[in-house]
Amino acid sequence: MGDVLDPRSYAFVNAQTAAAQAERDLFRNIEPTPAAPTPLGMVLRALRTDPPTKAITLHQPWAWALLHAGKDIENRVWWKGFTGELAVHAGKEMDLSAITFFVKWGIPWPDKDALVFGAVIGAVTVTGAHNSAACVRTSTWGHLHPEGPYTCSKWAQGGATGDKPMMHWDITNPRPCTPVPCRGFQKLWNLPTGVVLDFTSK
């Protein structure tokens, strides 16, 4: 048997891109249709400017994408009404399914030095959330639409867990910071008081 490639290695990433390139080609020759606006009654807005006291842990490169690639939707099957400033914590794992997504949308894969693991790497503002059913494209070929199957963002995804629908969290104001090593947790968690985020060097 040959050597097993480290999933974090760029050799592994490069080995996955051929299939992803083929999938992306399905999207190139489809004429876009106007996106229907998300019903305002389904979107909750509450802008705040408080320093982040809550944090969320994401696998890389999704944490990086929130801060550097214009990811304006976070997909979760839960939302407890949280709005305001949210610290972004990069977990210790790489989500390799992101390769297909990045290739499909022509998003450059981040340099290896850009992907920090096991640290708080910035903050964003959560302005609200809406049920994915509110913005799904209704056409039978919506999953092949060149702008994605959801009208709110190309970053939006569907799916559900039991009777819990996918919720699209609306994300704005990405602010990278100097990475602060920190343990992560599931769901929303309280940012330790000793974690001080420095946005001045970014």
Q: Are 202 and 178 in contact (CB under 8 A)?
A: yes
pLDDT confidence bin for 113, thresholds 50/70/90: confident
Q: Are 110 and 124 in contact (CB under 8 A)?
A: no
pTM listed for this prediction: 0.75
pLDDT one-digit tens code per residue, 68-109: 999 999 999 999 899 999 999 999 999 998 999 999 888 999
Q: Are 122 and 88 in contact (CB under 8 A)?
A: yes
The full length of the chain comes to 202
Nearest residue to 172 (alpha-carbon basis) of 122, 137, 134: 122
Rounded Cα distance between 180 and 52, Å, is 14
pLDDT one-digit tens code per residue, 15-62: 666 556 655 555 444 444 444 444 443 333 333 446 789 999 999 999
Count CB atoms within 10 A of the CB of residue 45. 10
**What are the distances in angstroms from CA 118 to CA 15, 20, 95, 115, 142?**
25, 28, 14, 10, 36
Q: Tell me, what amino acid is at 173?
A: N
Domains of the chain listed by start with CATH number: 10-26+43-185 (2.30.130.30)
